[in-house]
A and B are shown apart, each in its own frame.
Chain A
Amino acid sequence: MLESKIPEGPLQEKWRNYQLKSQLINPANKKRLKVIVVGSGLAGAGAAATLGEMGYEVLCFCYQDSARRAHSVAAQGGINAAKNYQHDGDSVMRMFYDTLKGGDFRSREANVFRLAELSAPLIDHYVQQGVPFAREYGGVLVNRSFGGVQVQRTFYARGQTGQQLLLAAYSQLYKMKRAKKVRMFPRHEMMDMVIIQGKAKGIIVRDLVSGQLKRFAADAVVLATGGYSRVFRLSTLAIGCNGSAIWKAHKRGAYFAAPSFTQIHPTALPQTSEAQSKLTLMSESLRNDGRIWVPKAKDDPRKANAIPEEERDYYLERRYPSFGNLAPRDIASRAAKERIDAGYGVGRLQNAVYLDFKHAIAHFGLETIQDRYGNLFKMYKKITGVDAYREPMQISPAAHFSMGGLWVDYELMTTIPGLYAIAECNFSDHGANRLGANSLLQASIDGYFILPNTINTYLADALHEDHPSTAHPEFIKVEQEVKAQIKNLLSIKGTKTVDHFHRELGKVMWQSCAMSRNHNGLKKAISEIEHIKAKFWTEVNVTGGDKEMNPELEKALRLADFLELGLLMCTDALQREESCGAHFREEFQTPEGEALRKDEMYSYVSAWEYNAGNFKLHKEPLVFEYAQPTIRSYK
């Protein structure tokens, strides 16, 4: 039975009620409790610093050489908060509704409300920590609007919001490191979980410099390991982003919710070669002034500028006259895919669409456009060598964000007692589609505000239990298993590279489990992934040893987990016979080609149990008391 632990009382009172009833631990006792935080991105760094301030002994891990490099750093656009500084009618209630609707009514009301409720104090918190948010001349904070909403509630720091928030969290983390309340372990990757008598008691990590395996025990474990969209290989994520920590937790008993809900971002740079390792995101803000089109004729060989107006198909404006080029991400991505698949794609690999500023430049003048997007045009030129003031940009959809993740209750605890999952690696607030600028928010409040409150309830009991020791047989057993897996990988000595298999997996996932999915495609994908997995375990070659820095081995270990995670994602997408948000099943669409939700049958969160690889579905019914599910229309 999935117990979501939603507190009683009206929506507006739930979080307060929760806090009133939650247990407190006196400072002297907190010192005796140890918490492991895996990940030091926005969520992990915020959590570790705050837990340290509260008096717990904290151990924090990340795979990069410093906490400052976590992929939160790459967020450009901004962070939402219901401050109503613009006096445009924003409120917590409106933000709650926008988020719930944006997620196509596949998230828990109480969680979403709390997200909106804690957004305003979060901005105060960041200002206090020294985040240089954009200001008006008079000194007050500036806002802008973002996709899918009609108010201006997005706060930003130039095009580097994620960087500035992360640096604030990182600086607080190192402040607590100096205070000796947090021990920081950079270049350490979590390899597995240790569960003792049903409770999370520690982790096994690999020191990425020496290659040594190490055991760490604690009274509770928090995972804050970010998104897993690198399962597609090509994505807007960092190369090291992985699903390994949550996958290992899943295999040890934590349920995995909505694994297949993946956001595909419409405005990334297209893939240009097989060797490509990453797709760079171009900010969504470009869609405010750029017009998206493809030629009306298939395989049109002409250059963009040589194609006259009447031979261009502005397909978003055609299909969604009221939102046009600003249609939400899932819709814009799907529409691009539709045109590309139909043979109208542009670019050398015919896998892109045009984003054209010709009209905007004619209308507003070059200077205005330079002022608005100068840095983005510069970045475009750096990467492609093309001047987008003269010819249209080529853009293409790319895997971007994982709505899915470990199932958590209102306290952000997984189905394993003592194991928490926060931010992008959990499934909680975004439902089937995330609104822009809401995930920096979720990462921050999970780490700073929610977890440091809810974890006390569990730790208050843990106080009376034995503190776990790394000498416990379970630690030894799990470490042996990790060692065996590594040895196994190194001994295959096949004829193919890790990247070869990752490319294969990525192709299957992109073809069958991305923007649009269907029964047959998913069935086929599952058998193809099984095949790739089998080949991987017999034909991969991982050179170098285990007792040294070995990036090839790191990649192989991450890919081994992605291969299994890919299977679960396809299984999940296959099971959900409806379309909702980013999950578009071709069999379930309206005559106009829009997503067809089936609330009577699928108004639940899918939470999968590993069950020795025979994934077993559990359902958490979604109850809507305050917002009635409606059809999401952007026509």
Chain B
Amino acid sequence: MKVVFKIWRQDSQKHQGGFERYPIEGLTEDMSFLEALDHLNERLVLQNQKTIAYEYDCREGICGQCGIFINGRAHGPHNNITTCQLHMRSFQDGETIVVEPWRATAFPVIKDLVVDRSALDRIIEKGGYISAKTGTAAESNAILIPKDIADKAMDAAACIGCGACVATCKNASAALFTSAKINHLNNLPQGKPEAAQRVLQMTKQMQLENFGNCTFTGACEVECPENISIINIAEMNARRAKAKWLGR
């Protein structure tokens, strides 16, 4: 199989970036998309050229480190998968594939396809936790949690922090990501004492980081590898209003 990769190259945040074309042969359909880029990189090394920088770690869809904009879509042509789960059989032989980094003001490009997503960590830092010290826990079954509540918390908690929701959103909003963490914790009895603070501080940080406002286009849930539903955003907004007006 052969394809042409049209890839965004940018040396650093300070440099200007631009597309370069890389025709490449010798690919197979069962190669993953990232393995095809690995293959290209090995060719570049053999030609004494700098390799293309892109991110990954687990390569099984759970760490959230990979994330490339492929042919105009976050994580490529399929719904609800990560870049590392994409395979070359999803492309035509001879196709030109456009490969870009996540684009959002809050995600500056570090190099080529690598962006800085630390803004997401800073949102978590503002309350995406339960303030309890190691060594202070009570017996687990002392607080019963109904299955539907635990399941609902788990649905939201599944977020892998990849940032595809931001990348695909025309407003570059981080609402899906933020709401997932808030709803994970605020649904659980252990998260209730800090519920109001959490929603207020995390949503405030979201704005400080220059993420845009959510206008409910629903684009995010189409790309989200963990199928996080936009209902979470509505729930977050309701929680926020309640916290603002009622303080809880």
Binding site for B on A (CB under 8 A): 46, 49-50, 53, 64-71, 73-74, 83, 85, 121, 123-125, 127-130, 132-141, 157-158, 160, 163-164, 167, 170-172, 174-175, 177-178, 186, 209, 238-240, 272-273, 275-278, 280-281, 379, 382-385, 448-449, 452, 493, 495, 497-500, 541-544, 548-552
Q: Are B132 and A128 in contact (CB under 8 A)?
A: yes
Q: How far is the CA of A164 from the CA of B156 in the complex (A)?
A: 11
Tell me the smallest distance from the CB of A378 to a CB of chain B, in Å.
10
Q: Are B161 and A68 in contact (CB under 8 A)?
A: yes
- Report chain B residues within 8 Å CB of A170: 124
Tell me the smallest distance from the CB of B44 to a CB of chain A, in Å.
7
- Report chain B residues within 8 Å CB of A499: 38, 42
Q: Are B62 and A163 in contact (CB under 8 A)?
A: yes
B contact residues, range: 35 or more
Tell me the smallest distance from the CB of B126 to a CB of chain A, in Å.
7
Q: How far is the CA of A136 from the CA of B191 in the complex (A)?
A: 20
Q: Does B59 sit within 8 A of A, measured CB to CB?
A: yes
Q: Are B51 and A448 in contact (CB under 8 A)?
A: no
Of B45, B85, B87, the residue contacting A543 (CB under 8 A) is B45
Tell me the smallest distance from the CB of A60 to a CB of chain B, in Å.
13
- Report chain B residues within 8 Å CB of A382: 81, 85
Q: Are B58 and A238 in contact (CB under 8 A)?
A: yes
Closest 5 pairs between A and B when the two form their complex, measured CB to CB:
A139-B144, A171-B129, A128-B137, A124-B137, A132-B154
Known: A121-B137, A137-B146, A158-B154. A278 touches B62 (CB 8 A): no
Tell me the smallest distance from the CB of A19 to a CB of chain B, in Å.
12
Tell me the smallest distance from the CB of A581 to a CB of chain B, in Å.
26
Q: How far is the CA of A273 from the CA of B35 in the complex (A)?
A: 10
Could you tell me which residues of chain B, from 108 to 152, have a CB within 8 Å of some CB in chain A?
A: 110-111, 114, 116-118, 120-121, 124-126, 128-141, 143-147, 150-151
- Report chain B residues within 8 Å CB of A163: 62, 158, 160
Q: Does B48 sit within 8 A of A, measured CB to CB?
A: yes
Tell me the smallest distance from the CB of A196 to a CB of chain B, in Å.
31
Closest chain B residue, CB of each to CB of A71:
B58
Tell me the smallest distance from the CB of A46 to a CB of chain B, in Å.
8
Q: Are B141 and A74 in contact (CB under 8 A)?
A: no
Q: How far is the CA of A171 from the CA of B188 in the complex (A)?
A: 15
Tell me the smallest distance from the CB of B60 to a CB of chain A, in Å.
5
- Report chain A residues within 8 Å CB of B41: 552
Tell me the smallest distance from the CB of A228 to a CB of chain B, in Å.
15
Q: Are A135 and B35 in contact (CB under 8 A)?
A: no
- Report chain A residues within 8 Å CB of B55: 65
Q: Are B184 and A65 in contact (CB under 8 A)?
A: no
- Report chain A residues within 8 Å CB of B65: 64-65, 69
Q: Does B12 sit within 8 A of A, measured CB to CB?
A: yes
Known: A69-B57, A73-B63. A275 touches B45 (CB 8 A): no
- Report chain B residues within 8 Å CB of A70: 63
Q: Are A129 and B63 in contact (CB under 8 A)?
A: no
Tell me the smallest distance from the CB of A144 to a CB of chain B, in Å.
15
Known: A65-B65, A552-B41. A128 touches B190 (CB 8 A): yes
Q: Are B59 and A186 in contact (CB under 8 A)?
A: no
Q: A130-B185, A172-B129, A178-B125 are in contact. List 14 more A-B contacts (CB 8 A).
A: A127-B190, A157-B154, A160-B62, A164-B157, A174-B124, A174-B125, A174-B128, A238-B59, A239-B56, A240-B57, A273-B31, A385-B87, A497-B42, A541-B48
Q: Are B111 and A136 in contact (CB under 8 A)?
A: no
Q: How far is the CA of A552 from the CA of B30 in the complex (A)?
A: 24
Q: How far is the CA of A186 from the CA of B61 in the complex (A)?
A: 20
- Report chain B residues within 8 Å CB of A132: 150-151, 153-154, 157, 184, 188
Q: Are A65 and B46 in contact (CB under 8 A)?
A: no
Q: Are B146 and A135 in contact (CB under 8 A)?
A: yes
Q: Are B134 and A49 in contact (CB under 8 A)?
A: yes
- Report chain B residues within 8 Å CB of A121: 137
Tell me the smallest distance from the CB of A173 to a CB of chain B, in Å.
9
Tell me the smallest distance from the CB of A469 to a CB of chain B, in Å.
29
- Report chain A residues within 8 Å CB of B58: 69, 71, 73-74, 238-239
Q: Does B53 sit within 8 A of A, measured CB to CB?
A: yes
Q: Are B63 and A141 in contact (CB under 8 A)?
A: no
Residue of B65, B131, B151 with most chain A CB atoms under a 10 A cut-off: B65
Instruction: List 18 A-B pairs, Cβ < 8 Å.
Output: A65-B118, A69-B64, A71-B63, A74-B58, A123-B140, A127-B137, A135-B150, A139-B145, A140-B141, A140-B144, A178-B126, A277-B32, A383-B87, A497-B46, A499-B38, A500-B42, A543-B48, A549-B111
Q: How far is the CA of A379 from the CA of B136 in the complex (A)?
A: 38
Q: How far is the CA of A238 from the CA of B146 in the complex (A)?
A: 35
Of A64, A124, A138, A385, the residue contacting B140 (CB under 8 A) is A124
Residue of B50, B58, B81, B141 with most chain A CB atoms under a 10 A cut-off: B58
Q: Are B129 and A175 in contact (CB under 8 A)?
A: yes
Q: Are A74 and B129 in contact (CB under 8 A)?
A: no
Q: How far is the CA of A320 from the CA of B143 in the complex (A)?
A: 43
Tell me the smallest distance from the CB of B127 to a CB of chain A, in Å.
9
- Report chain B residues within 8 Å CB of A73: 58, 62-63, 160
Q: Does B105 sit within 8 A of A, measured CB to CB?
A: no
Q: Are B190 and A66 in contact (CB under 8 A)?
A: no
Closest chain B residue, CB of each to CB of A81:
B140
Q: How far is the CA of A423 from the CA of B38 in the complex (A)?
A: 31
Closest chain B residue, CB of each to CB of A66:
B121
Q: Are A272 and B184 in contact (CB under 8 A)?
A: no
Q: Does B34 sit within 8 A of A, measured CB to CB?
A: yes
Closest chain A residue, CB of each to CB of B126:
A178
Q: Are B140 and A71 in contact (CB under 8 A)?
A: no
Closest chain B residue, CB of each to CB of A447:
B134
Q: How far is the CA of A272 from the CA of B31 in the complex (A)?
A: 8
Closest chain B residue, CB of each to CB of A452:
B134
Q: Are B51 and A551 in contact (CB under 8 A)?
A: yes
Q: Are B185 and A549 in contact (CB under 8 A)?
A: no
Q: Does B244 sit within 8 A of A, measured CB to CB?
A: no
Q: How far is the CA of A6 from the CA of B159 in the complex (A)?
A: 42
Q: Are B134 and A448 in contact (CB under 8 A)?
A: yes
Q: How far is the CA of A68 from the CA of B122 in the complex (A)?
A: 12
Known: A124-B137, A552-B45. A544 touches B63 (CB 8 A): no
Tell me the smallest distance from the CB of B99 to a CB of chain A, in Å.
16
Q: Are A239 and B128 in contact (CB under 8 A)?
A: no
Could you tell me which residues of chain B, from 152 to 205, have a CB within 8 Å of some CB in chain A?
A: 153-154, 157-158, 160-161, 184-185, 188, 190-191
Q: Are A66 and B117 in contact (CB under 8 A)?
A: yes
Tell me the smallest distance from the CB of A472 to a CB of chain B, in Å.
31
Q: How far is the CA of A157 from the CA of B172 in the complex (A)?
A: 31
Known: A130-B184, A167-B157, A174-B129. A85 touches B85 (CB 8 A): no
Tell me the smallest distance from the CB of A292 to a CB of chain B, in Å.
22
Known: A160-B158, A172-B129, A549-B114. A124 touches B138 (CB 8 A): yes
Residue of A129, A133, A136 with most chain B CB atoms under a 10 A cut-off: A129
Q: Does B89 sit within 8 A of A, measured CB to CB?
A: yes
Q: How far is the CA of A583 from the CA of B139 in the complex (A)?
A: 39
